[in-house]
């Protein structure tokens, strides 16, 4: 198969899955099976591209020109390929989990749910392979729009309000700030292509660079940089598979991925380092890391706590870019993968607990670990990975980020990262502790082991195992990503 | 000179009529005064050499539109209610518009100036054309029906629009009222 | 409405004829003196309107039935626009009356102007009468005597 | 003419296209009345508008190279006779108007049946054709006074069409009356302006006017003329402080009329404004001397924010869309005020894109009103789920109204902001974006009502009839199509903008 | 030496200013008066005054109506000594008068319909009725939205 064909298929197959969901609206098994096959095929296509291209780059394929100079075009480069692998791979697991969750929880509108889900994946693929900022922006907005019905899925008052905040912030920032930044870039540089080393050098007055960077950093609302992070906790009203998709795979990762892309291919790491334009962003990201962790500690609702944890973790990646060093950017890139694996585990566990016993608050989870051991062990592994303890994947990017911070000469950042790890311990581990060491207080809970349905506990178990594997292959990922910063 | 005096007299009467219309609240009188205004303006048009226009204005302004207005007040109401609120806004609007107009007049050529652009540019060609190409004595007819015949087609369409508009609003097409009532019933 | 003076009715009957005659004069003498299709149309309509005012709407509608009025309304525009279409079919520009007499353009112009003025006259007559019928056919809110 | 007679070359069908474009619908109206048969009214109207659409497309293709076609009505060469002059700018608007007219008629077939008493159908279609003719005529012509005549044809028929909503809500009558008063004041201002222009130059042909103004420079009479023409046309355009007639007229008019007006009426007026500002008056004269920056930019910004803000608080979708139109007109004026080729092409491309978008939205609301009886949000609860195809079309066009990438609205916004950056107006660029966020709010309110609220259990709503769905989807697909393929819209807009910016030179014979 | 008061200028322009006074009187009636019929009358005055302005453009001092003398057979006998006023404004105004009467008749027809629907032709009363209608709509539809109908 031609690589370009495979590339288009990665976007086409999820679209077909969407159509299939609409067509087989009322035939549950056929519909879910069909989508599952589509998910597998998409992953296979991405792997095909991986085999064909490796960590090199592939020539740009222009689909068509919208306005002269603005094309919808795709290419393959390591960072995007990695993102595509994560997105399509985790789609398979999230889909399986979604089937279990939706059926186990008796939710309505399955077809609409999975259809929107598929479109979101198609948009993620588009973002991953976009070869210019315009294409990326188009798919970025498609992703926002396709996830809106997912957030509002329940149709309750809370869901509608949550969805409003979600959409309001994401569309608002992307149109008011990001689009302005993109057009400014287009007018200044005359192109929007992602080019190694950036396109802006010498095209724009150094004093304006921080402003343009701000338009991007805040405009990419999906990166949840404070103070535009409110949509993330608001979107918690969504069913948990959506939260998993939103907060671990598709949406937030699309945000930080875009930030990295902008930093590396639009501004260029060197240009940022020369002008020092990203220094303010670095401090803001650092603040975001600490502040969100502190807020997370105050949350009793498990999903809300995880959401703030995500806000904090995302800022690691923004920080990596803002350090404007190769190691920092590399660490940021790698953190996309590591955090995805860890966080999706945590969310799926939270969903399992909800499906099995309808518990949402941490204080209600006394002794639950003894009833659902697999879920809680998976949760523990995911939490340790997020904290960054070896031998789990999450430890490497933190290390790289610290190296990057040292390169940039910002020792305080190293301290911030260490403090953040401590805070992670403080808000994640007590959950596991409660589960295993406190006595069961709720008399309605069964005695002995009674896990959630198979499709609910198996996927998190797999991803938890994935965290372990990633630790071993971190070197490979680092080598794979090295070309993006010219190493 | 006598022309000037006639014009000034007509103007005085026009202004007087206009102010009377502003002041009067009996609609019957307003409509009649409006007819008078039209007739006076028709006289002024004659004084300004526009006989065709005067003819039309007399037929339309003093004739048809007066009849229509009388018909309307017969169907509606015969007095105007005095407004309880008085806002300075209309006065300001009128003042600004008037000021803009006066500003515009400053660079206008003098009244009756034979050297004005309007007399110099196309008018002689129209007169010449009517004399030689079309050979019709009334130059207004020539321009109306031939040179600017398309405008007149548009004008006919405007009349047509008004006709079917009134039919749409007040009656229907083709039938007499009684038949319609039967159909509706 | 039906018990008007005898004198008024007789005079009106005589006047209507005279007004119509005048309308025709204005219509066809517009080339030489003030007036044309529009003025003629108005005058012609006035003849019918006076008739309607004096003898009543029903009587007027019998003499000049609404369906005919409405056809005339459209007919005039069709005549005018049709003159243009014919000139177009003859290979000239729209409304170029030269087409009607290529070897003696001024004759063509005369014909064209005559026809289009007639179109204007027909439409204006029709529209004015139609508007009068529409207004007169509306029931008043209260009778004249009650004012 | 005697001299010309000897070597007269017979004109062919293709030569007559500029005038046929207008004359065919003009002919259709009296034919409909003359035949007087209800069953024939619609087919005649549709055939005429389809013919006009085909002609306008041919014309657009002919002038896309930047040239122009001049047609001498009556065979008299301008400036003596009336001239039809088609260049890229008006060919584009002609194509929009005739295209929308052709698409609206099938829709009107069902909607008129439901909203207007049977006995008025014949006259309704005749009136519609006249409105159509008037709009086409005022755009096609190259003669300043002819603009007024056709403007009045379209205005008078519009007043009547708006008043036809009275069967549904009596406020349509007062809306039409207010529109009549405002429209007539506007038209009278316009002819005052023409009187001054004629006084200063002695001509009425636009190209000749442009030449003479360029030759002789400006004076106070010409400046006052400019002011009166801008204000007069501004009333028709509904430039922000002059917009008071618009919301009621759009809200209470019958659905098909709202669709047609929203997509075409103000657009034709904007075109006339552009034509006068750029072709008749010299651009440098217009903007430098008149410092219209100070007038146009504040008012367009005010429109963008204030009207959008008002739209957010409406409970009636049609009224909300009407206020949104006023806001969108603000964008178009802003594009004019940029005074660069990009800004002007933004105005022209938005003119087309917004026309298509708004028409689709009004069509959707009209289809829902068949079952809900009103356009109040509360009556449309959950109708998106009961009428999935109508709802989907509204989503597509609603996204285009916001300006989401992949839709026509995005392209206009992009080009407009690009123009702002080219002038170095960062603040304006950000203001454009911020105001479009208000669009997100009001459009999203519509989506929530259509999809996320529980439908009325007694509602008998079912999918709209095919005759309404097809036009709606044609426009909705156009909203998407023009978001990706901008060759036609932006391409012609660029050519048109260059022609307009060339000023009087662009009008030279 | 320039004169303090340029009489030629004033005499040549005074009639324009008088037209303006008439126009503004008409415009004032349109915008300030609440009676619908009176608004239409005001519109007529406004427009007729504009027509006068047009016609005065065409006037040439000492000129005559633009109709050539004809002999008995209808042939034109040109007389070069006669100055004719400019006929073009006359033509334009003929068209404009027709447009004016068309507008008037439509406006009046609308007024008749309004009277039948509202039972009044005073703008103030109509606005009151419409405000009540709006208030009712608000009660029924507006509360949930917090907006106005």
pLDDT score at D332: 92
Check CB contact of C103 with chain D, cutoff 8 Å. Answer: yes
- Count of positions (residues) in chain E: 149
- State yes or no: pLDDT of B181 exceeds 60: no
- State yes or no: pLDDT of A360 exceeds 60: yes
Distances (CA, A) of B34 to A130, A332, C120, E44, E101: 72, 82, 26, 8, 13
Check CB contact of A145 with chain D, cutoff 8 Å. Answer: yes
Cβ under 8 Å to E: D residues 303-362: 312-316, 319
The residue ranges of every structural domain in chain D are 293-498
The predicted model gives D24-39 an average pLDDT of: 91
- State yes or no: pLDDT of D186 exceeds 90: yes
pLDDT score at A412: 83
Spatial distance between the Cα atoms of B173 and D173, rounded to a whole number of angstroms: 20
Spatial distance between the Cα atoms of A406 and C109, rounded to a whole number of angstroms: 95
- State yes or no: pLDDT of D509 exceeds 60: no
Q: Which residue of D has its CA nearest to B129?
A: D1
pLDDT score at B125: 86
Q: Is the peptide bond before D79 cis (omega within 30 degrees of 0)?
A: yes
Contact B156 C138 (CB under 8 A): no
Contact A72 D484 (CB under 8 A): yes
Poorest-confidence range of A440-454, D226-240, D344-358? A440-454
Task: Please tell me whether residues E31 and E55 are part of one structural domain.
Answer: yes
Residues of D in contact with B155 (CB under 8 A): 149
Give, to the nearest 10 degrees, the angle between helix D408-422 and helix D341-372.
Answer: 150
Name which of C45, C26, C18 is nearest C122 in CA terms.
Answer: C45
Poorest-confidence range of B81-85, D149-153, E45-49? B81-85
Name which of A232, A141, A131, A220 is nearest A181 in CA terms.
Answer: A220
Q: Is the peptide bond before D321 cis (omega within 30 degrees of 0)?
A: no
Nearest-CB residue to D405 (from A141, A180, A184): A141
pLDDT score at B185: 36
Of C120 and D340, the one with more pLDDT: C120
**What's the distance, CA B178 to chain centroid?**
35
Residues of C in contact with E85 (CB under 8 A): none
Instruction: Give the count of beta carbons closer than 10 Å to the beta carbon of residue C106.
Output: 17
Is E73 inside any structural domain?
Answer: no
Task: Please tell me whether residues E90 and E35 are part of one structural domain.
Answer: yes
Task: Please tell me whether residues E138 and E112 are part of one structural domain.
Answer: no
The predicted model gives D177-200 an average pLDDT of: 93
Contact E112 C141 (CB under 8 A): no
User: Which 3 state secondary structure label does DSSP give A18?
Assistant: helix
Residues of C in contact with D19 (CB under 8 A): 93-94
The predicted model gives E57-84 an average pLDDT of: 82
Task: Please tell me whether residues E93 and E57 are part of one structural domain.
Answer: yes
Burial code (b: 16+ CB inside 10 Å, e: under 16) for C120-142 equals bbbbbbbbbbbbbbbbbbbeeee
Spatial distance between the Cα atoms of A27 and A296, rounded to a whole number of angstroms: 41
Contact C92 D27 (CB under 8 A): no
Q: Is the peptide bond before A43 cis (omega within 30 degrees of 0)?
A: no
- Count of positions (residues) in chain C: 147
Check CB contact of C2 with chain E, cutoff 8 Å. Answer: no
- State yes or no: pLDDT of B178 exceeds 70: no
Cβ under 8 Å to C: D residues 9-68: 10-11, 16, 19, 23, 26-27, 29-34, 36
Poorest-confidence range of A164-168, A372-376, B125-129, D221-225? A372-376
* Chain D closest-CA separation from residue C124 CA (Å): 13
Is E44 inside any structural domain?
Answer: yes
| Radius of gyration of the CA atoms of chain E, in A | 25
Average pLDDT, rounded, for chain A: 81
Contact between residue C44 and residue C23 where contact means Cβ atoms under 8 Å apart = yes
User: Which 3 state secondary structure label does DSSP give D155?
Assistant: helix
Q: Name the CA dihedral angle for B142, B144, B150, B156, rounded to a multiple of 10 degrees.
A: -140
Contact between residue D366 and residue D255 where contact means Cβ atoms under 8 Å apart = yes
Of A342 and D94, the one with more pLDDT: D94
Residue indicated by tokens 């670990």 = A369
Task: Please tell me whether residues E44 and E19 are part of one structural domain.
Answer: yes
Contact between residue A116 and residue A45 where contact means Cβ atoms under 8 Å apart = no
The β-bridge partners of D86 are D69
Check CB contact of A447 with chain D, cutoff 8 Å. Answer: no
The residue ranges of every structural domain in chain A are 278-487
* % of chain D surpassing 70 pLDDT: 95
Spatial distance between the Cα atoms of A378 and A373, rounded to a whole number of angstroms: 8
- State yes or no: pLDDT of B120 exceeds 80: yes
* Interface B:C, Cβ pairs < 8 A: 148
Contact D156 E141 (CB under 8 A): no
User: Which 3 state secondary structure label does DSSP give E75?
Assistant: coil
Contact E63 B49 (CB under 8 A): yes
Contact C135 E98 (CB under 8 A): no
- State yes or no: pLDDT of C26 exceeds 70: yes
Task: Please tell me whether residues E22 and E56 are part of one structural domain.
Answer: yes
Please state the ipTM of this predicted complex: 0.88
- State yes or no: pLDDT of B175 exceeds 80: no
DSSP-assigned letter for residue D316: B
Average pLDDT, rounded, for chain C: 86
Poorest-confidence range of A340-354, C111-125, D230-244, E101-115? A340-354
Nearest-CB residue to D436 (from A175, A184, A188): A175
Query: For A229-262, how does the pLDDT look when each residue is reduced to its tens digit (9 = 90+)?
Result: 888 878 777 777 777 776 777 788 888 889 888 8
Contact B138 C49 (CB under 8 A): no
- State yes or no: pLDDT of A279 exceeds 60: yes
Contact between residue B27 and residue B77 where contact means Cβ atoms under 8 Å apart = yes
Q: How confident is the model at residue D259 (pLDDT cuts 50, 70, 90)?
A: very high
Q: In chain D, which residues touch A (CB < 8 A)?
A: 399, 402-406, 411, 413-415, 417-418, 421-422, 426, 429-430, 433-434, 436-437, 440-441, 444, 448, 451-452, 483-486, 490
- State yes or no: pLDDT of D3 exceeds 50: no
Average pLDDT, rounded, for chain D: 88
Cβ under 8 Å to B: D residues 147-176: 149-150, 152-153, 156-157, 159-160, 163-164
Task: Please tell me whether residues E60 and E94 are part of one structural domain.
Answer: yes
Is B12 inside any structural domain?
Answer: yes
The predicted model gives D102-106 an average pLDDT of: 94
Last residue within a domain, chosen from B28, B52, B80: B80
Spatial distance between the Cα atoms of A403 and A438, rounded to a whole number of angstroms: 40
Query: For D230-248, how does the pLDDT look when each residue is reduced to its tens digit (9 = 90+)?
Result: 999 999 998 888 888 899 9
Of B164 and A98, the one with more pLDDT: B164
Structural domain boundaries enclosing B50: 1-80
* Chain D closest-CA separation from residue E65 CA (Å): 19
- State yes or no: pLDDT of A363 exceeds 90: no
Spatial distance between the Cα atoms of D248 and E130, rounded to a whole number of angstroms: 11
Q: How confident is the model at residue E5 (pLDDT cuts 50, 70, 90)?
A: confident
Nearest-CB residue to C116 (from B54, B71, B149): B149
Is B10 inside any structural domain?
Answer: yes
Query: For A5-24, how does the pLDDT look when each residue is reduced to its tens digit (9 = 90+)?
Result: 877 888 888 888 888 877 77
- State yes or no: pLDDT of B106 exceeds 70: yes
Residues of C in contact with D1 (CB under 8 A): 98, 105
Distances (CA, A) of A78 to A85, A140, A486: 10, 19, 12
Q: How many domains does chain B have?
A: 2
Residues of A in contact with D430 (CB under 8 A): 176, 180
Spatial distance between the Cα atoms of A28 and A480, rounded to a whole number of angstroms: 40
Instruction: Identify the helix (H) or strand (E) that includes residue D73.
Output: strand D69-73
The predicted model gives A94-102 an average pLDDT of: 78
Q: How confident is the model at residue A29 (pLDDT cuts 50, 70, 90)?
A: confident
pLDDT score at A98: 78
Contact between residue A315 and residue A286 where contact means Cβ atoms under 8 Å apart = yes
Burial code (b: 16+ CB inside 10 Å, e: under 16) for D12-21 equals eeebbbbbbb
Name which of D163, D159, D180, D183 is nearest D172 in CA terms.
Answer: D163
- State yes or no: pLDDT of A414 exceeds 80: yes
* % of chain E surpassing 70 pLDDT: 91
- State yes or no: pLDDT of D262 exceeds 50: yes
Contact E22 B15 (CB under 8 A): yes
Nearest-CB residue to D156 (from E95, E106, E126): E106
* Chain E closest-CA separation from residue B110 CA (Å): 4
Residue indicated by tokens 């150094």 = A206
Please tell me the number of Cα atoms within 13 Å of E113 on its side-chain side: 29
Structural domain boundaries enclosing E104: 11-65+84-118
Task: Please tell me whether residues E43 and E109 are part of one structural domain.
Answer: yes
D and B interact (at least 3 Cβ pairs within 8 A)? yes
Poorest-confidence range of A62-66, A160-164, B10-14, B126-130? A62-66
* % of chain A surpassing 90 pLDDT: 0
Residues of C in contact with E108 (CB under 8 A): 135
Q: How confident is the model at residue B77 (pLDDT cuts 50, 70, 90)?
A: confident
Token couple for A253: 């990762």
Contact D417 A171 (CB under 8 A): no
Poorest-confidence range of A427-441, B53-67, C109-123? A427-441
pLDDT score at D4: 46
Spatial distance between the Cα atoms of C135 and C52, rounded to a whole number of angstroms: 12
* Chain D closest-CA separation from residue E80 CA (Å): 22
Task: Please tell me whether residues E107 and E147 are part of one structural domain.
Answer: no
Neighbours of chain B (3+ CB pairs under 8 A): C, D, E
* Range ranked top by mean pLDDT from A64-73, A145-154, B173-182, D343-352: D343-352
Residue of C80, C106, C125, C129 to mutate, interface with B, max B Cβ within 10 Å: C80
Contact A64 D485 (CB under 8 A): yes
Task: Please tell me whether residues E139 and E88 are part of one structural domain.
Answer: no
Neighbours of chain E (3+ CB pairs under 8 A): B, C, D
- State yes or no: pLDDT of C74 exceeds 90: yes
Query: For D438-465, how does the pLDDT look when each residue is reduced to its tens digit (9 = 90+)?
Result: 888 899 888 888 887 777 777 777 888 8
pLDDT score at A458: 79
Q: Which residue of A has its CA nearest to D447?
A: A149
| Radius of gyration of the CA atoms of chain C, in A | 19
Of B155 and A376, the one with more pLDDT: B155
Contacts 24+ apart (CB under 8 A), E123-127: E123/E34, E123/E35, E123/E36, E123/E39, E124/B81, E124/B83, E124/B84, E124/B85, E124/E34, E125/B81, E126/D174
The predicted model gives C15-22 an average pLDDT of: 90
Burial (Cβ within 10 Å: 0-12, 13-18, ≥19) of residue B82: exposed
The predicted model gives B36-63 an average pLDDT of: 90
DSSP A368-396: HHHHSHHHHHHHHHHHHHHHT-TTSTTHH
User: Which 3 state secondary structure label does DSSP give B108?
Assistant: coil
* Chain A closest-CA separation from residue D98 CA (Å): 25
- State yes or no: pLDDT of E146 exceeds 60: no
- Beta strand D69-73 pairing with D82-86: antiparallel
- State yes or no: pLDDT of D508 exceeds 60: no
């Amino acid at each position: 198969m031609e690589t370009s064909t495979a590339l288009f298929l990665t976007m086409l197959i999820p679209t077909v899955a969407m159509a299939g969901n609409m067509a087989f609206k009322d035939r549950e098994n056929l519909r879910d099976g069909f989508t599952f096959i589509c998910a597998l095929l998409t992953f296979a296509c991405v792997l095909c591209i991986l085999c064909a291209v490796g960590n090199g780059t592939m020539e740009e394929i222009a689909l068509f020109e919208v306005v002269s100079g603005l094309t919808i075009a795709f290419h393959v480069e390591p960072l995007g390929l990695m993102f595509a692998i994560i997105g399509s791979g985790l789609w398979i697991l999230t889909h399986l989990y979604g089937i279990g969750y939706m059926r186990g929880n008796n939710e309505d509108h399955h077809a609409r749910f999975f259809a929107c889900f598929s479109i979101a994946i198609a948009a993620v693929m588009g973002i991953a392979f976009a070869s210019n900022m315009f294409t990326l922006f188009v798919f970025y907005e498609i992703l926002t729009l396709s996830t809106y019905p997912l957030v509002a899925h329940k149709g309750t008052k809370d869901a509608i309000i949550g969805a409003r905040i979600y959409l309001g912030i994401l569309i608002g920032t992307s149109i008011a700030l990001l689009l302005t930044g993109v057009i400014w870039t287009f007018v200044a540089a005359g192109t929007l292509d992602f080019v190694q080393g950036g396109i802006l050098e010498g095209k724009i007055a150094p004093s304006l660079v921080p402003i343009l960077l701000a338009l991007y950093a805040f405009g990419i609302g999906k990166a949840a940089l404070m103070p535009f992070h409110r949509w993330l906790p608001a979107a918690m009203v969504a069913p948990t598979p959506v939260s998993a998709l939103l907060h671990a795979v598709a949406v937030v990762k699309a945000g930080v991925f875009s930030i990295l892309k902008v930093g590396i291919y639009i501004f260029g790491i060197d240009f940022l380092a020369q002008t020092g334009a990203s220094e303010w962003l670095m401090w803001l990201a650092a603040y975001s890391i600490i502040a969100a962790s502190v807020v997370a500690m105050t949350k009793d609702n498990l999903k809300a706590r995880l959401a703030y944890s995500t806000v904090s973790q995302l800022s690691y990646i923004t920080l990596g870019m803002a350090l404007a060093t190769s190691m920092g950017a590399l660490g940021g890139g790698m953190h996309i993968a590591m955090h995805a694996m860890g966080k999706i585990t945590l969310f799926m566990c939270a969903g399992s607990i909800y499906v099995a016993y309808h518990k949402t608050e941490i204080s209600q989870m006394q002794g639950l670990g003894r009833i659902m051991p697999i879920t809680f062990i998976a949760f523990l592994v995911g939490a340790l990975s997020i904290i960054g303890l070896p031998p789990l994947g999450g430890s490497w990017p933190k290390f790289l980020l610290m190296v990057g911070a040292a390169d940039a000469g910002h020792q305080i950042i190293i301290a911030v990262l260490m403090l953040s790890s401590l805070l992670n311990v403080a808000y994640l581990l007590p959950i596991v502790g409660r589960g295993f060491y406190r006595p069961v207080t709720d008399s309605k809970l069964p005695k002995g082991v009674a896990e959630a349905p198979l499709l609910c506990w198996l996927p998190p178990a797999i991803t938890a195992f994935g965290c372990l594997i990633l630790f071993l292959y971190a070197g490979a990922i680092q080598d794979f990503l090295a070309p993006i910063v010219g190493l | 000179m006598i022309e000037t005096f006639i014009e000034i007299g007509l103007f005085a009467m026009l202004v007087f009529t206009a102010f009377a219309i502003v002041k009067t609240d009996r609609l019957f009188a307003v409509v009649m005064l409006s007819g008078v205004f039209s007739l006076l303006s028709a006289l002024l048009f004659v004084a300004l050499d526009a006989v065709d226009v005067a003819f039309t204005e007399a037929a339309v302004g003093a004739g048809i539109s007066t009849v229509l207005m009388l018909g309307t007040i017969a169907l509606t109401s015969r007095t105007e209610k005095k407004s309880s609120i008085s806002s300075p806004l209309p006065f300001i609007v009128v003042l600004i518009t008037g000021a803009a107009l006066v500003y515009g007049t400053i660079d206008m050529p003098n009244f009756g100036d034979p050297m004005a652009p309007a007399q110099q540019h196309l008018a002689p060609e129209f007169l010449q054309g009517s004399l030689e190409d079309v050979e019709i004595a009334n130059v207004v007819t020539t321009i109306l029906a031939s040179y600017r015949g398309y405008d007149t087609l548009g004008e006919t369409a405007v009349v047509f629009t008004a006709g079917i508009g009134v039919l749409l609003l007040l009656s229907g097409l083709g039938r007499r009222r009684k038949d319609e009532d039967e159909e509706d019933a | 409405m039906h018990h008007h003076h005898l004198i008024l009715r007789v005079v009106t009957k005589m006047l209507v004829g005279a007004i119509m005659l005048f309308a025709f004069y204005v219509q066809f003498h517009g080339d030489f003196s003030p007036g044309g299709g529009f003025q003629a149309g108005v005058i012609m309509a006035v003849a019918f309107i006076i008739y309607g005012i004096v003898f009543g709407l029903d009587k007027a509608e019998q003499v000049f039935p609404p369906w005919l009025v409405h056809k005339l309304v459209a007919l005039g525009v069709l005549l005018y626009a049709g003159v243009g279409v014919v000139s177009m079919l003859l290979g000239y520009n729209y409304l170029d009356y030269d087409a009607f007499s290529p070897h003696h353009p001024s004759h063509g112009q005369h014909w064209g102007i005559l026809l289009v003025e007639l179109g204007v006259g027909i439409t204006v007559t029709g529209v004015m009468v139609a508007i009068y019928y529409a207004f007169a056919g509306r029931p008043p809110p209260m009778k004249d005597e009650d004012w | 003419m005697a001299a010309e007679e000897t070597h007269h070359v017979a004109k062919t069908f293709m030569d007559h296209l500029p005038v046929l474009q207008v004359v065919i619908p003009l002919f259709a109206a009296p034919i409909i009345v003359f035949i007087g048969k209800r069953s024939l009214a619609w087919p005649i109207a549709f055939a005429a508008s389809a013919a006009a659409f085909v002609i306008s497309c041919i014309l657009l293709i002919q002038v896309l190279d930047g040239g122009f076609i001049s047609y001498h009505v009556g065979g008299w060469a301008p400036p003596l006779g009336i001239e039809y002059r088609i260049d890229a700018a008006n060919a584009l608007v002609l194509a929009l108007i005739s295209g929308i007219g052709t698409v609206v008629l099938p829709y009107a077939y069902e909607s008129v049946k439901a909203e207007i008493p049977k006995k008025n159908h014949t006259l309704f279609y005749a009136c519609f054709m006249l409105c159509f003719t008037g709009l086409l005529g005022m755009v096609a012509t190259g003669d300043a006074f002819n603009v007024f005549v056709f403007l009045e044809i379209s205005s008078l028929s519009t007043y009547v069409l708006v008043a036809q909503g009275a069967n549904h809500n009596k406020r349509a009558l007062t809306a039409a009356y207010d529109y009549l008063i405002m429209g007539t004041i506007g038209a009278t201002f316009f002819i005052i302006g023409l009187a001054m222009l004629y006084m200063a130059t002695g001509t009425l042909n636009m190209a000749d006017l442009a030449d003479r103004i360029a030759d002789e420079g400006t004076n106070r009479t010409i400046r006052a003329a400019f002011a009166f023409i801008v204000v007069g046309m501004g009333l028709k355009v509904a430039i922000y402080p002059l917009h008071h007639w618009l919301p009621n007229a759009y809200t209470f008019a019958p659905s098909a009329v709202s669709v047609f007006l929203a997509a075409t009426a103000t657009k034709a007026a904007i075109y006339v404004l552009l034509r006068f500002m750029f072709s008749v008056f010299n651009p440098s004269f217009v903007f430098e001397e008149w410092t219209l920056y100070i007038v146009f930019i504040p008012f367009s910004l005010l429109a963008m924010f204030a009207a959008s803000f008002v739209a957010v608080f409406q409970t009636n979708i049609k009224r909300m869309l009407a206020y949104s139109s006023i806001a969108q007109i603000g964008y178009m004026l802003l594009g004019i005020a940029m005074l660069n080729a990009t800004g002007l092409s933004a105005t022209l491309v938005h003119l087309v894109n917004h026309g298509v978008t708004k028409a689709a939205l009004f069509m959707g609301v009209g289809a829902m009103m068949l079952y809900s009886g009103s356009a109040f949000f509360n009556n449309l609860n959950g109708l998106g789920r009961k009428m999935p195809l109508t709802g989907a079309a509204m989503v597509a066009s609603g996204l285009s109204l916001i300006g989401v990438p992949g839709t026509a609205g995005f392209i206009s916004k992009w080009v407009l902001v690009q123009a702002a950056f080219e002038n170095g107006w960062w603040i304006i660029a950000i203001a454009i974006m911020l105001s479009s966020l208000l669009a997100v709010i009001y459009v999203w309110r519509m989506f929530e009502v259509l999809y996320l609220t529980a439908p009325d259990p007694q509602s008998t709503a079912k999918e709209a009839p095919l005759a309404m769905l097809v036009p709606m989807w044609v426009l909705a697909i156009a909203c998407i199509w023009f978001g990706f393929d901008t060759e036609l819209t932006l391409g012609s807009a660029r050519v048109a903008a260059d022609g307009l910016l060339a000023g009087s030179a662009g009008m030279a014979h | 030496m320039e004169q303090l008061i340029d009489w030629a200028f004033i005499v040549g322009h005074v009639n324009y200013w008088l037209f303006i006074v008439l126009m503004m009187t008409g415009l004032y009636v349109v915008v300030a008066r609440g009676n619908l019929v009176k608004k239409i009358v005001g519109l007529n005055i406004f427009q007729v005054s504009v027509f006068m302005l047009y016609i005065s453009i065409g006037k040439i001092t000492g000129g005559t109506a633009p109709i050539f003398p004809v002999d008995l057979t209808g042939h034109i006998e040109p007389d070069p000594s006669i100055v004719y006023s400019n006929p073009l404004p006359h033509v334009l105004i003929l068209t404009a008068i027709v447009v004016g009467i068309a507008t008037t008749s439509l406006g009046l027809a609308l007024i008749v319909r309004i009277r039948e629907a509202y039972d009044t032709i005073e703008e103030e009363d109509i606005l009151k009725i419409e405000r009540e209608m709006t208030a009712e709509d608000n009660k029924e539809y507006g509360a949930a939205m917090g907006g106005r109908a």
